[in-house]
Amino acid sequence: MNLFTDIRALVLDTLDAMTRDGALPEGLKTAAVTVEPPRDPAHGDMATNAAMVLAKPAGRKPRDIAEDLAARLAADDRIATAEVAGPGFINIRLAPSLWQGIIRAALTEKGFGRSAMGQGERVNVEYVSANPTGPMHVGHARGAVFGDALARLLDYSGHDVTKEYYVNDGGAQVDVLARSSFERYREACGLAPQIGEGLYPGDYLVPVGEKLKERWGESKLDAPESEWLEEAREIATEAMMEMIRDDLAALGVTMDVFFSEKALYGTGRIEDAIKTLDAKGLIYRGTLEPPKGKTPEDWEPREQTLFRSTAHGDDVDRPIMKSDGAWTYFAPDIAYHYDKVERGFTRLIDVFGADHGGYVKRMKAAVSALSEGRVPLDVKLVQLVKLWKNGEPFKMSKRAGNFVTLRDLVDQVGPDAVRFHMLTRKNDAPLDFDFDKVLEQSRENPVFYVQYANARINSVLRKAEAMGIAVDDATLAEADLSKLDHEAELALMRALAEWPRLVEIAAKGHEPHRVAFYLYDLASALHALWNRGNDEPSLRFLQEGDAATTQGKISLARAVGVVIGEGLGILGVTPVEEMR
């Protein structure tokens, strides 16, 4: 049940009636007509801009249309009042029965707030995709949480979602990993490791060295690199991916697909993607102008094979092959996204770290060219996380070598606190992660505040049950709700009514942080009602000696609990039934 959709449908039906009556001309386009919460809640429950957007094409003053429309809306049983404001906006107050209907819908609809807006559209969400060269760090944690919550949100709104991790196991960094692991192999054999500049120094490679000793004994100690590099690379990469999968699991993140970059090499898949672009006249030989400012690693002052990405919105054309015939790092990424298009996805979403901002336009150009504009690519950049503890910046992890790991974070505060807090800022805004605040039991800690609201609701349900009052959802859905007429109770119902609309707005914008913001506001409304009950006994959820009224008030509380549970599910956070 989406109350805003229902009232918008009423507005559109009323406009159709005005057209039939001759009050409006035929053929008016109503796509821009909205029904939304007013900026000031004191003005009403909803507001529509219908008269404002239709005035010019209708050749009438907006206020004249508004007065006619408002009078007709007010005649509907669902509308308590419809008043014209300003130049032609209409402020609407709803009949109490609609608010009661929201409570009943939350208690009876499976997945209240779920939407069919996605209509089964196949969406690929690629996120994390960290190089398999070590444990995941706190920056990866934010990308993992954001990507996972976005995938859950899109699934909740009716999309067919595939969660994917691109394993960067085809580049030079895995050779560095193999060489670093070989030094740990030497260490396992009793020799001093020689971890020079450019190698990975973290202790996490010690177990890999031990695995290599189990495999080789001491037979490779004096062998040339050509004899051990490939095998060391495979063993080390698999060990790192096992570590990464475990780290993600600790955060509650699971992937549907792990796609290996290495699988693109030597299989003709890169060549096929480039041939597809070449057939469209988008591949040529040329020399790029020297870039202004910092020189990118794929620029050469000589002729190269280039992708004409400017034909699809990029600023400059991009190299796909170096002058020595080797692919640039962009070429396998083109092939990988071509594979996604070929797999039938109708929308692609890539979640990148903030340092990949310069990569966005070229990747969008490639997908546009490969799909002939049919498949949109949305790239979401995730900004940095700054860690704080005891008022000081929190930095190193000896095990990792030079950064705080994702597992460090989860072990210290738990996955729920990490996930919720990572979504308290929009993905492209920097985020401060303060260990003290994240563990604080106060309103200043959003995850605690929302979990506390859920715990309070469950506490009320347990107490009511102890009083002999039935609190199952089916019974509560039939409760008498007529006495839920106090402004604090109505505010809570208005917040509930926002949930289905919020889901669709967040899904359309690919903005899961909106769910976290909403849950905080919903919890605030619940706590406000609870606290007012301390001074006004009639607002308490438990009414001594009045089971019928108690059941009605508990229905409201339970409906809030349902929505909190649904929202936390999207965020990947487990609701708690009592605070300990």
pLDDT in tens, 45-95: 999 999 999 999 999 999 999 999 999 999 999 999 999 999 999 999 999
The answer to whether 3-94 and 446-571 have equal CATH topology is no
The pLDDT tens digits for 337-381 are 999 999 999 999 999 999 899 899 999 999 999 999 999 999 999
The pLDDT tens digits for 438-481 are 988 898 899 999 999 999 999 999 999 999 999 999 999 999 99
State residue 89 phi and psi, 5-degree precision.
-75, 155
Cβ partners under 8 Å of residue 276, min gap 6: 338, 370
| Spans of all domains in the chain | 3-94, 172-251, 446-571
Tell me the percentage of the chain whose pLDDT exceeds 90: 85
Q: What is the pLDDT of residue 400?
A: 63
Average pLDDT, the chain: 94
State residue 52 phi and psi, 5-degree precision.
-70, -40
Q: What is the pLDDT of residue 295?
A: 64
Q: Residue 392 above 60 pLDDT?
A: yes
* CA atoms of 37 and 315, how far apart (whole Å): 40
Tell me which residue of 387, 385, 386, 366 sits closest to 376, measured CA to CA: 366
Q: Residue 41 above 90 pLDDT?
A: no
Q: What is the pLDDT of residue 319?
A: 94
pTM here? 0.93
Q: What is the pLDDT of residue 345?
A: 98
The DSSP 8-state label assigned to residue 405 in this structure reads B
What Rg, from alpha-carbon coordinates, does the chain have? 29
* CA atoms of 319 and 329, how far apart (whole Å): 9
CATH number assigned to the domain covering 446-571: 1.10.730.10
Model confidence at 398, pLDDT cuts 50, 70, 90, reads low
Q: Residue 413 above 90 pLDDT?
A: yes
Model confidence at 389, pLDDT cuts 50, 70, 90, reads confident
* 523, 449 Cβ separation under 8 angstroms: yes
Q: What is the DSSP string of 256-301?
A: SEEEEGGGGTTSSHHHHHHHHHHHTT-EEEE-PPPPSSSPPTT--S
Strands, DSSP E only, in 155-209? Answer: 160-167
Model confidence at 395, pLDDT cuts 50, 70, 90, reads confident
Q: Residue 566 above 70 pLDDT?
A: yes
CATH number assigned to the domain covering 3-94: 3.30.1360.70
The pLDDT tens digits for 415-450 are 999 999 999 999 999 999 998 889 888 988 999 999
